[in-house]
Chain A
Amino acid sequence: MDYTLVLLALVLSVFGVATVYSAGQTDVSVRLVNLWRTQALYLALGLGAAWIISRASIHVLDYLSPAIYTGSLALLTLLLFVGRGAGTGRSARSWIYVGDVSIGQPSELAKIAVVIMLAKVLSSRSESPRSLMDLWRPAMVVAIPWVLIMLQPDLGTALVFVGIFFAMLFWAGTNWRLLLLAASPVISLVLAFSTQLWGAWFVLLILLVYRTKPFIVEGIAVVAANLVTGVAAPLVWAALSPYQQRRLLVFLDPSSDPLRGGYHVLQSQVAIGSGGWLGKGFTQGSQKRLAFLPEQQTDFIFPVVAEELGLLGVIVALALFAWLMMRCIRIAGRSQNSFASLVAFGLVSMLFVHVVENVGMTIGVMPITGIPLPFFSYGGSFMLACWIAIGILVRLSLEGRGRADTMVI
């Protein structure tokens, strides 16, 4: 068994539970005081799930993947009718309740289902995708849950899906020009706000299409899609709900609206910056104690680490994450078949997007999307999802070529 991987995940989880404990030590409210106990319970549940999953062969997962995927879609559909909001996303229908008790967020588990299904679809091909036409099936695998989640709406989780999709296409050996063509409508959308930038991008795109030499229909479709998103972007902007618009704007200039969206980022940065080299001491962060830090037990838990343990704590946490992910990439590289390899890489890309987006958001280099930090953020579904991913990775490591414990990283 890959003890290093388990140990790394366990250390991160214990670090996480300790931080949830600290997040509950405030001067203003007793609401969060006992959350760490629940989180420890979730960790135990996650460990159990990981152990069970690691017992099953990867072929079982391969066999069950259509069922898991369909089940997830059914849950996400159901959510649109019975889902409720909680925490940061009060207006989103992300949670399943039985009576008044919340059971969990199906979208967290849907991420794993999508990874598995995408791996199955990609690995079932005889060779790497060579044209845009080859991408339509994998795209559908992601698009259906993506639309369902956007309907909740949950922008952050939807972005994670996009990240997983491109990372797995990359791992499947897709040509980078093809990836760029596939991503081009989104790039057009982002650049549409500046006519000059979009114009320059459009010239580049024409050159790219010329070099890549796709089928005529594909070429026309890509250019048309870019025109639509580039021109339609202002209309799409108008269609975004105000909080989504605000989040995007606040990302571009956090000081523009300091008492609403930007307030969170500013206070998060104040907490981080005031931590210094060694921090204010465990449980002693003033920004956290006095409730200047928003959502300090979930989305903004990392500033608690930064404020109380300083740059040292930040480096340790980031190094642990990096080590864990390096190891997962290694597992993906040593897997015996392409399905296993793609699953491993899909899972690590899921973790990567979460960590980079969450940590980057707290320091102001990423937009605020409200997605949790693996092993740290308080929440049962996500803790479970992370440990299921670890369980699968442990199994993949076990079944991979060569002995797992001889791996360097």
Chain B
Amino acid sequence: MRLHPNDVQRRARAAAAFLFFTFVFLAGSFFRAQVLQHSEYVLKAEGNRLREVPLPSGRGIILDRNGAVLAENIPGYSVAIIAPSVDSLRAVLGRIATVVPLRPDQVEAAVRRFRRNAARATELLPSVPFDVVSRLEEHRLLFPGLVIQEAPKRFYPDGEAVSALVGYIGEVNETELAMPAFDGYKPGQQVGKAGLELQYESRLRGTEGVRFVEVDARGRVVRDADARSTLLPEPAPPLVTNIDLGLQRYVAKIFGDSLVGAAVAIEPATGEVLALHTAPTYDPNRFIGGIPASYWRELNDDSRLPLLNKATQGRYAPGSTWKLVTAINGLELGLVELDEKMPVPCTGGYQYGNRFFKCHLARGHGMLTLAQAIERSCDVYFYQLGLKLGLQRLVAGGIKLGGAERSGIDLPNDNRPDFPTDPASEYFTKKYGARGWTQGNSLNLAIGQGENAQTVVNVARFYTALAMGGTASTPRVVHGASDLTQVFSLDSTTTAGLLDALAGVVERGTATGSRIQGIMLAGKTGTAQTGKFVNGVEQDHAWFAGFAPAHAPRIVIVVMLEAGGHGTRAARIASKIVEYYLKVVPMQLFKTEGN
């Protein structure tokens, strides 16, 4: 075959042109990827090679008023896995399970976390002891992508004694992550679940750091450091509370394991909460790193409800401690004087309509003044005072004195008391129907029974007003300014007389067994009927609310014993607490240099 030179040259030019344009097209493809889409591919390449390992910040420590520790961080270790896929994550978890026992729910939780964010090391065990770490390290080659690092672990040195205050922490759950308040939280992080840990989460949290490790295509860690600069965690500053740890321990010790109830101690001038306890209690340390199922079941099955904070959440009929509300109500309105007597003497009860209302003292108190009625807690006197006030003024006055509001304490689950709304007629009509109620309802309301259930801490708030001559202070656990509210005002002689009457309760009235040598304790007992009977005995709640010293109060104390019987039992506990606080040398004096 002969090829004509002209034909050949023509074809050579065509071939060269084809070659040229093909290569220009290829170069254009590379230009598009390497220049136009460069940043997009850089992100993908970085995402390929870098995995985030969170560096938890130590939560802020929680201190009492003297600097003693309520909650701190101790060294701990967390275990996380870096895996390229769900399958290999499961394979590694399966191998780890041969060294460290893993529950199926832990495995599933880890898989969920991986699915949620594969660019982050998947946390497996947030808190493991050192022996587990050393076992894992021993077999390290079996577990590609294993990341073990120090993770400060929460520790409550006083455990059960402070659980009502500090609460506990746990892993942030899916519901919480969906809420706006938890913006910026990532699965696996620890958050406050109760108590101060929950209330002050944002202050205690600190800022989490991030470390980057470099991984290969199979998800094995290739380079640990310098993959990208580490963001160091910033620990949160300490949270200083008003709690007196010595007193708190003492209260917890008195309640022990047998009593059920709550106690609150407040400095009346400032609202500073000195101690707050609820019994029975739980050990917050066992919640760290996942609460064991058996312990959780035990707490939930206990009929005494250890997880319920009986000082802030639990609501109880206030009983005779409420008589002071009725008394002040009457005094402020000018309907009664401290030395005024009621028309009907106490003969162990009071006939109203076709119903006989009993006094707690069956043989009767006779004719009493208001001051004496307070001292001896005479029901008949207060039935008549209640009738004199009438239902509407009883309710309006109770609301004015704070009986329908939350105490405002800085703890979560501060429950609103059960109390009628103003106007009373509307409330009772709505509740019982137009004919379902009479002025007779005032009789019960006047002595702290009926449509009234208060939290222990709210009763304490009212008694700060009694102690301070009308100014109630909002209870505060954490150091900071308290809200002061003038809830009533009486002339000075009446105020002094009222204090005398309250002191008289302990000096010569219902709580004489609770006198403290050298300290004048003022207060009021209460025995609230519940309508619940065990073996034919009504399970009354025992109350004592008071303050000391009576004329220069430094502590308001409220003790409530669930099904505790007569209020004098609560009074005895309250007097011990007050005695400890006012007589025992404060803890800080024992401290020596270097502390």
Listed in ascending order, the chain A residues whose CB lies under 8 Å from chain B are: 27-28, 122-128, 170-173, 259, 267, 269-277, 286-287, 289-292, 306, 310-311, 314-315, 318, 321-322, 325-326, 329-330, 332-333, 338, 341, 345, 352, 356, 359-360, 363-365
Contact = CB atoms under 8 A, between A and B. Distances in A.
B28 to A, nearest CB: 10
A331 to B, nearest CB: 10
B142 interface: no
Contact of A173 (B7, B12, B16, B22): B7
A292 B48 contact: yes
A53 to B, nearest CB: 24
B41 interface: yes
A274 B216 contact: no
A322 B23 CA distance: 7
18 contacts: A27-B222, A124-B1, A126-B1, A128-B1, A171-B15, A172-B1, A269-B41, A270-B41, A286-B45, A287-B48, A290-B217, A292-B216, A292-B217, A306-B34, A326-B19, A338-B1, A338-B3, A352-B22
Nearest to B2: A338
Interface in B74-99: 85
B552 interface: no
B231 interface: no
A333 B20 CA distance: 17
B30 interface: yes
Given A173-B11, A330-B12, A341-B8, A27 B42 contact: no
Contacts of B572: none
A341 B3 contact: yes
B485 interface: no
B193 interface: no
5 smallest beta-carbon distances between A and B, as pairs: A273-B41, A274-B45, A333-B12, A290-B216, A273-B33
Interface string B31-66: 101110110111011001100000000000000000
A78 B23 CA distance: 38
A335 B2 CA distance: 12
A273 B40 contact: yes
Contacts of A173: 3, 7, 11
Contacts of B33: 269, 272-273, 363
Contacts of A123: 1
A314 B27 contact: yes
A313 B22 CA distance: 18
Contacts of A318: 23, 26-27
Contact of A311 (B12, B35, B41, B49): B35
Q: Is the interface of B mostly helix, strand, loop or mixed?
A: helix
A274 B41 contact: yes
Contacts of B48: 267, 270, 286-287, 290, 292
A173 B15 CA distance: 12
Nearest to A294: B217
Contacts of A322: 19-20, 23
Contacts of A274: 38, 41-42, 44-45
A290 B216 CA distance: 4
B139 to A, nearest CB: 21
Interface string B172-211: 0000000000000000000000000000000000000000
B41 A329 contact: no
A290 B449 CA distance: 75
B222 A28 contact: yes
A285 B279 CA distance: 64
A128 B85 CA distance: 59
A170 B12 CA distance: 10
B34 A276 contact: yes
A310 B27 CA distance: 12
Contacts of A289: 222
B583 interface: no
A275 B9 CA distance: 40
Max chain A C-beta neighbours (<10 A), residue from B15, B25, B85: B15
Contacts of A276: 34-35, 38, 42
A310 B31 CA distance: 10
Given A125-B1, A326-B16, A291 B11 contact: no
A290 B222 contact: yes
B3 A273 contact: no
A270 B38 CA distance: 9
A356 B41 CA distance: 23
B388 interface: no
A93 B183 CA distance: 58
A302 to B, nearest CB: 10
B532 to A, nearest CB: 65
Given A273-B40, A329-B12, A363-B29, A290 B34 contact: no
Contacts of A172: 1, 3
A122 B1 contact: yes
Contacts of B20: 322
A290 B214 contact: yes
Given A318-B26, A326-B19, A272 B34 contact: yes
A360 B26 contact: yes
Max chain A C-beta neighbours (<10 A), residue from B2, B33, B220: B33
A167 to B, nearest CB: 8
Contact of A171 (B11, B42, B217, B222): B11
Nearest to B43: A274
Contacts of A325: 19
Max chain A C-beta neighbours (<10 A), residue from B12, B85, B222, B223: B12
Contacts of B214: 27, 286, 290
Given A272-B33, A310-B34, A322-B20, A27 B15 contact: no
A62 B31 CA distance: 44
A123 B2 CA distance: 8
Contacts of A306: 30, 34
A277 B35 contact: yes
A330 B31 CA distance: 29
A272 B216 contact: no
B141 to A, nearest CB: 15
A359 B26 contact: yes
Nearest to B7: A173
Nearest to A270: B44
A371 to B, nearest CB: 15
Nearest to A259: B85
A172 to B, nearest CB: 7
A123 B7 CA distance: 15
